[in-house]
């Protein structure tokens, strides 16, 4: 049975035009994320990963091509997409609960429904004991949990993650990777995540799109040979190690 495609990127190119020259950031990018999948977009710095995610999020227009969510053309930001960036982007004057609730207020959810949804997300994200805390009182990993909870609040069709763990230390990053997998299993959310970390891409995703630069284009599509239920032991699997080497070679070629 063919899964319904939640997200489709069709022939997307992006050129930035300056006063002296034009820069081709992306060229002819095709990709898709099916319903309930967790897919990673892997590439080195400067290959156009974040530009592509901004286009999918409706924050940047394409020069050519199109993006569709459930076959609806993306023409700007929308509640069908939630975005989380490397910088936490939390409101420093609002508590954890109020940060999570903010998007629901913008979407004009009724007050009672907002409170139910916030309470649900506090549970899913293991944040109940921090509900009244301000962002400055939280660790980096906890702040990123709040950012993910806020993005999940309005129940988006697709969650877009732009290097969400890039600013975290190695140990916190490992914990957050496992936490993201648990949230994905619990919510069934369709996720597209940008990363430059080869092991992170293999560990988290079901499929990897490798983006090469000058200009950014898909150089390889890799199906990850592990089931949805995986844990740290998968990193010792010979297939994991072989795939790590293969992807590492692709990134430097």
Three-state SS sequence of the chain: CCCCEEEEEEEEEEEEECCCCEEEEEEEEEEEEECCCEEEEECCCCCCHHHHHHHHCCCCCCCEEEEEECCEECCCCCCCEEEECCCCCCCCCCCHHHHHHHHHHHCCCCHHHHHHHHHHHHHHCCCHHHCCCCHHHCCHHHHHHHHHHHHHCCCCCEEEEECCCCCCCHHHHHHHHHHHHHHHHHHCCEEEEEECCHHHHHHHCCEEEEEECCCEEEEEEEECCCCCCCCHHHHHCHHHHHHHHHHHHHHHC
224 within 8 A of 202, measured Cβ to Cβ: yes
How far, in Å, CA of 107 to CA of 245, rounded? 45
Write down the pLDDT at residue 1. 36
Write down the pLDDT at residue 4. 53
pLDDT at 114 over 50: yes
245 alpha carbon, distance to own chain's centre: 24
Q: Is 33 left (phi over 0), alpha (psi -120 to 50) or beta?
A: beta
pLDDT at 159 over 60: yes
Nearest C-alpha neighbor of 247 from the set 215, 214, 207: 207
pLDDT at 253 over 80: no
Write down the pLDDT at residue 2. 42
Write down the pLDDT at residue 5. 63
153 within 8 A of 117, measured Cβ to Cβ: yes
The pTM of the full predicted model, rounded to 2 decimals, is 0.92
pLDDT level of residue 18 (50, 70, 90 thresholds): confident
Q: Give the other-Cβ count within 10 Å of 21's Cβ.
A: 7
Q: Tens digit of pLDDT for each residue in 212-229?
A: 998 999 999 999 999 888
247 within 8 A of 198, measured Cβ to Cβ: yes
Query: Superfamily assignment of 1-80+190-253 in CATH?
Result: P-loop containing nucleotide triphosphate hydrolases (3.40.50.300)
Write down the pLDDT at residue 48. 93
Return the biggest CA–CA distance within the chain.
54
Residues in Cβ contact with 197 at an 8 Å cutoff, skipping those fewer than 6 apart: 166
By percentage, how much of the chain surpasses pLDDT 90? 81
Q: Tens digit of pLDDT for each residue in 224-250?
A: 999 888 888 999 999 999 999 999 999
Q: Tens digit of pLDDT for each residue in 85-95?
A: 887 789 999 99
pLDDT at 190 over 60: yes
Mean pLDDT (the chain) is 92
For tokens 């950012």, the residue is 147
User: 53: which 2 tokens?
Assistant: 């995610």
How far, in Å, CA of 187 to CA of 138, rounded? 24
Q: At what angle do helices 140-152 and 96-106 cross, to 10 degrees?
A: 20
By percentage, how much of the chain surpasses pLDDT 70? 98
Write down the pLDDT at residue 221. 97
User: 103: which 2 tokens?
Assistant: 């998007």
User: 72: which 2 tokens?
Assistant: 């609806």
């Amino acid at each position: 049975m063919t899964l319904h495609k939640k997200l489709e990127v069709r022939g997307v190119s992006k050129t930035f035009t300056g006063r002296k020259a034009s820069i081709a950031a992306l060229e002819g990018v095709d990709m898709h994320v099916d319903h309930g999948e967790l897919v990673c977009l892997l590439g080195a710095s400067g290959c156009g990963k974040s530009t592509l995610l901004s286009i999918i999020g409706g924050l940047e227009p394409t020069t050519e091509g199109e993006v569709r969510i459930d076959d609806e053309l993306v023409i700007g930001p929308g509640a069908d997409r939630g975005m989380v960036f490397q910088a936490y982007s939390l409101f420093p004057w609002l508590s954890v609960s109020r940060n999570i609730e903010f998007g629901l207020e913008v979407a004009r959810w009724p007050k009672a429904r907002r409170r139910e949804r916030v309470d649900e997300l506090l549970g899913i994200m293991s944040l109940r004991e921090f509900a009244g805390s301000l962002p400055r009182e939280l660790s980096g990993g906890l702040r990123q949990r709040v950012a993910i909870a806020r993005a999940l609040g309005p129940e988006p069709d697709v969650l877009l993650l732009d290097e969400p763990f890039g600013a975290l230390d190695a140990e916190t990053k490992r914990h957050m990777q496992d936490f993201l997998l648990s949230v994905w299993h619990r919510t069934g959310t369709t996720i597209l995540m940008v990363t430059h970390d080869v092991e992170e891409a293999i560990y988290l995703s079901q499929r990897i799109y490798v983006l090469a630069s000058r200009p950014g284009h898909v150089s390889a599509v890799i199906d990850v040979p592990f089931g949805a239920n995986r844990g740290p032991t998968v990193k010792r699997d010979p297939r994991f190690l072989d795939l790590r080497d293969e992807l590492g070679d692709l990134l430097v070629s």
